[in-house]
Amino acid sequence: MDKLRILAVSAHPGDLEILCGGTLAKYTKLGHKVIVAHLLNGNKGHYEMDSKELARVRKEEAENAAQIIGTEILSLGFSDGELFSNLETRKKVIDLIRQVKPDVIITYTPRDICQIPYY
């Protein structure tokens, strides 16, 4: 069987690892190349930790999970709550896809998780 390049795209570090970590691990175990891309840096949502420290912790957690699962990590680095459906975001996602050249993309359905409105 030919080896696949699989791009898994999520909003936050940790989302994919929770939602489909077993699937990603199975693909890597079968010898496929799996790249995990986080659009956001996970820097918000903690009452005590400042944004910079939280982003660092979330990055470290994602790196640890990637090592266990056997994936590579990429991040677009948007701050939490600052991902918009606009030209800048589209260009960055297109560049990501062109860089990775995936055979398969794993991501959310259009109305999953955040219920992002489409205009």
Residue 97 belongs to some domain of the structure: yes
Residue 67 belongs to some domain of the structure: yes
CATH of the domain at 74: 3.40.50.10320
Q: What is the pLDDT tens value at each position of the chain, 119 positions in all?
A: 699 999 999 999 999 988 899 999 999 999 999 999 999 999 998 889 999 999 999 999 999 999 999 999 999 999 999 999 899 999 999 999 999 999 999 998 776 655 444 44
Task: Give CA torsion, residues 3, 23, 7, 91, to 10 deg.
Answer: 160
Domain of residue 31 covers 5-106
CA distance readout (Å), 103 to 38, 40, 111: 18, 23, 23
Residue 115 belongs to some domain of the structure: no
Residue 113 belongs to some domain of the structure: no
Residue with tokens 């600052």: 82
Residue 31 belongs to some domain of the structure: yes
User: 116: how many CB neighbours lie within 10 A of its CB?
Assistant: 14
- Structural domains of the chain, count: 1
Predicted model pTM: 0.88
Residue 112 belongs to some domain of the structure: no
Under a CB-based contact definition with an 8 Å cutoff, are residues 96 and 116 in contact? Answer: no
Residue 26 belongs to some domain of the structure: yes
Secondary structure class of 98 (helix, strand, coil): helix
